[in-house]
Amino acid sequence: MSFEGSVELHVTSSKALLIIGSHMPEVVASHYALKVSWLKQLLLNHVDWDTRESIACLLGIVSSALPLPATSDVISELTSIFSQTHKPRFETQHGALCAIGYITADYLSRALMPEIFLRKTLRCLVDVVNLETSALAAVAMQALGHIGLRISLPQLEGSNSDGILILLYDKLSKFLLSDDVKAIQKIVISIGHICVKESSSSHIDMALNLIFSLCRSKAEDVLFAAGEALSFLWGSVPVSDDTILRTNFTSLSTASNFLMGDLNSAESKQFPNGQSEHSEGYHASARDAIMKKLFDELLYSSRKEERCAGTVWLVSLTKYCGNHPTIQKMLLEIQEAFSHLLGEQNELTQELASQGMSIVQTEKSKLVEDSEVFQDGSLGETASGGKLNTYKELCSLANEMGHPDLIYKFMDLANHQASLNSKRAAAFGFSKIAKQAGDALKPHLRSLIPRLVRYQYDPDKNIQDAMVHIWKSLVADLKKTIDEHLDLIIDDLLVQCGSRL
């Protein structure tokens, strides 16, 4: 990677170098420890945001090969940028903030940082949050979050002063009320990171209040970010500190598939994200507060936006923290909440409720094996019927086949096709869920195909759409499938010709 070439080339090459560094950190660190000055030039002067972020993370890896005094010198140089008389370019400030978080976190993974130096570094970041625009403040918060993954952030002025979250509470509250969605995402996730090692109940309460203040947000990305932050506060998320700090990590949804079996078992142990036994008691109270907020206020709220937020957050916790004992004990209550939300008119709420049902069903060994898929009346009602009839028909289809548990697979496929181009599909890895659903249904294709053909012509447009989505997910060759199952299709149509179809 050189200064010559296009911006696109720099973006691609810096990301590639970071990927190599995440897999071979010692090799990359020892090689580029001699080129720190060159990396700093890229960090502070490159015009591309992604390139600066990649180089910042790479510097965190490379600093592990530097002596501690040399690492301190790099941090001091970066923090001094914010005490200059003339304000530097935005790119310079952004690159410096990114790197301060990564490099300080690396230092703390190797040794205790001198208290005065640590507080000076944290003060620099806090001042940026207080004095700068939301874009830079969000990056400063991200840096504080990265440091918070390694240690519980100390008070800035000694043991009698307020903690960092308390000092920043009013400022962060204003940022979270703004229209800058990207900044809000960074800020709210950083709050979750800061609390990973936090052992102060007042600080954890502050964090929860900030996150809960987003419960009426109509921005999907904000709700997903808040769900991720709550998962870090809950504990037992399926990623380690090093995964976040030394790889091209972007979010839990892209880095893990906790309940889908893709995770290395070593990372799914208790406290995989470095949470200490000492802080476990404080996080237990946070878990109680989260569940109280969800079940007593949001999930059954009279406001549709609060029910939507509660659904997103409960799906997040079930997916990312699903192996935690508290989640395991509450699977039946969680299933009941999701089934109640299937009748929602809000599309996001309804889709995520159905995905939540599927995630819970994945843990079916924890559920009563002969429990009803849906109890009478549990689907609720909507003013116009809406998509609720779709779920009833999917239940009917599963029951006709003699496999009521397949309802979850039908729901996965129906919702996957409908949300292929939406942000929520990426947020929770729906494509992988849909693939597993398709694999589970393949043994039943012989009895399923005739019914799917018939249901695609249902008078209800919503039922038609759902069945078409399932059909497209399961059938690769339309003509071949029809030819091979023609006799079964005709027999089914003859039997059903006296029905409403």
If phi over 0 gives left and psi between -120 and 50 gives alpha, with beta otherwise, what is residue 236?
Answer: left
Which pLDDT value is given to residue 351?
A: 84
Specify the number of domains making up the chain.
1
User: Torsion over CA of 121, 125, 128 and 134, rounded to 10 degrees?
Assistant: 160
Question: What does the mean pLDDT of the chain come to?
Answer: 83
Which pLDDT value is given to residue 292?
A: 97
Instruction: Read off the pLDDT of residues 416-456 as tens digits, 9 standing for 90 and up.
Output: 555 544 555 545 544 455 555 566 667 777 877 888 888 88
> Encoding tokens for residue 127?
């001042």
Q: Are 1 and 17 in contact (CB under 8 A)?
A: yes
Instruction: Read off the pLDDT of residues 383-392 as tens digits, 9 standing for 90 and up.
Output: 444 554 555 6
3-state helix, strand, coil in the chain (%, to 5): 70, 0, 30
> Encoding tokens for residue 4?
């010559």
The SS3 assignment for 499 reads coil
Which pLDDT value is given to residue 259?
A: 41
Measured CA to CA, the distance from residue 387 to residue 373 in angstroms comes to 18
Mean per-residue pLDDT for 322-349?
A: 88
> Does residue 205 lie within any of the structural domains?
no
Measured CA to CA, the distance from residue 188 to residue 141 in angstroms comes to 9
For the chain, the distance separating the N- and C-terminal CA atoms, rounded to the nearest angstrom, is: 64
Which pLDDT value is given to residue 489?
A: 87
Type of residue at 276: S
Which pLDDT value is given to residue 378?
A: 43
Which pLDDT value is given to residue 420?
A: 45
> Does residue 109 lie within any of the structural domains?
yes
Measured CA to CA, the distance from residue 322 to residue 309 in angstroms comes to 19
Query: In 52-108, which ranges are E strands?
Result: none
In the block, which residue shows the tokens 């916790």? 317
> Does residue 136 lie within any of the structural domains?
no
Which pLDDT value is given to residue 439?
A: 66
Which pLDDT value is given to residue 267?
A: 40
Measured CA to CA, the distance from residue 479 to residue 467 in angstroms comes to 17
Measured CA to CA, the distance from residue 133 to residue 128 in angstroms comes to 8
Type of residue at 155: Q
> Does residue 222 lie within any of the structural domains?
no
In the block, which residue shows the tokens 């979750």? 192
> Does residue 90 lie within any of the structural domains?
yes
Q: Are 392 and 335 in contact (CB under 8 A)?
A: no
If phi over 0 gives left and psi between -120 and 50 gives alpha, with beta otherwise, what is residue 162?
Answer: beta
| CA distances, 320 to each of 74, 391, 409 (Å) | 35, 26, 20
Least confident of 101-115, 146-160, 264-278: 264-278
Residues 6 or more apart whose CB falls under 8 angstroms from that of 380 comprise: 340, 342, 343, 388
Which pLDDT value is given to residue 414?
A: 60
| CA-based nearest residue to 153, from 137, 140, 169, 165 | 165
Measured CA to CA, the distance from residue 157 to residue 299 in angstroms comes to 41
The SS3 assignment for 383 reads coil
Type of residue at 136: L
Which pLDDT value is given to residue 405?
A: 60
Mean per-residue pLDDT for 354-378?
A: 59
The SS3 assignment for 422 reads coil
Q: Is the pLDDT of residue 268 over 90?
A: no
Q: Which residues of 225-244 are buried (b: 16+ CB within 10 A; e: fewer)?
A: bbbbbbbbbbbbbbbbbbbb
> Does residue 150 lie within any of the structural domains?
no
Q: What is the DSSP code (8-state) at residue 270? A: S
Q: Are 78 and 100 in contact (CB under 8 A)?
A: yes
The number of C-alpha atoms within 13 Å of 388 and in the hemisphere containing its C-beta is 19
Residues 6 or more apart whose CB falls under 8 angstroms from that of 483 comprise: none
Which pLDDT value is given to residue 262?
A: 44
Mean per-residue pLDDT for 218-237?
A: 94
* Confidence band of 49 (pLDDT split at 50, 70, 90): very high
**How many Cβ atoms are within 10 Å of 173's Cβ, its own excluded?**
12
Which pLDDT value is given to residue 13?
A: 94
Which pLDDT value is given to residue 406?
A: 62
Q: Are 221 and 229 in contact (CB under 8 A)?
A: no
* Confidence band of 407 (pLDDT split at 50, 70, 90): low
Residues 6 or more apart whose CB falls under 8 angstroms from that of 443 comprise: none
Distance of CA 287 to the CA centre of its chain: 18
Q: pLDDT > 70: what percent of the chain?
A: 76
More confident residue, 221 or 407: 221
Measured CA to CA, the distance from residue 450 to residue 427 in angstroms comes to 34
Q: Are 334 and 251 in contact (CB under 8 A)?
A: no
Mean per-residue pLDDT for 321-344?
A: 89
If phi over 0 gives left and psi between -120 and 50 gives alpha, with beta otherwise, what is residue 274?
Answer: left
The SS3 assignment for 118 reads helix
Q: Is the pLDDT of residue 352 over 70?
A: yes
Q: What is the CA radius of gyration of the chain?
A: 26
Q: Is the pLDDT of residue 214 over 90?
A: yes
More confident residue, 427 or 175: 175
Which pLDDT value is given to residue 474?
A: 76
Q: Are 169 and 156 in contact (CB under 8 A)?
A: no
Give the H/E segment covering residue 12.
helix 7-23
Q: Is the pLDDT of residue 299 over 90?
A: yes
Which pLDDT value is given to residue 264?
A: 38
> Does residue 435 lie within any of the structural domains?
no
> Does residue 492 lie within any of the structural domains?
no
Q: Is the pLDDT of residue 381 over 90?
A: no
Q: What is the DSSP code (8-state) at residue 269? A: S
Q: Is the pLDDT of residue 131 over 80?
A: yes
Least confident of 97-101, 251-255, 289-293: 251-255
Least confident of 43-52, 143-152, 279-288: 279-288
Q: What is the DSSP code (8-state) at residue 476? A: S
| CA distances, 66 to each of 33, 103, 115, 244, 314 (Å) | 6, 11, 20, 21, 43
Q: Is the pLDDT of residue 30 over 90?
A: yes
Q: Are 228 and 192 in contact (CB under 8 A)?
A: yes
Which pLDDT value is given to residue 83?
A: 92
Mean per-residue pLDDT for 138-156?
A: 96
Which pLDDT value is given to residue 263?
A: 38
Mean per-residue pLDDT for 52-78?
A: 97
**How many Cβ atoms are within 10 Å of 115's Cβ, its own excluded?**
10
pTM of the model: 0.78
Instruction: Read off the pLDDT of residues 69-128 as tens digits, 9 standing for 90 and up.
Output: 999 999 999 999 999 888 899 999 999 999 999 999 999 999 999 999 999 999 999 999
Residue 392 burial (CB < 10 Å; 0-12/13-18/19+)?
Answer: middle
Residue range of the domain that includes 22: 1-113
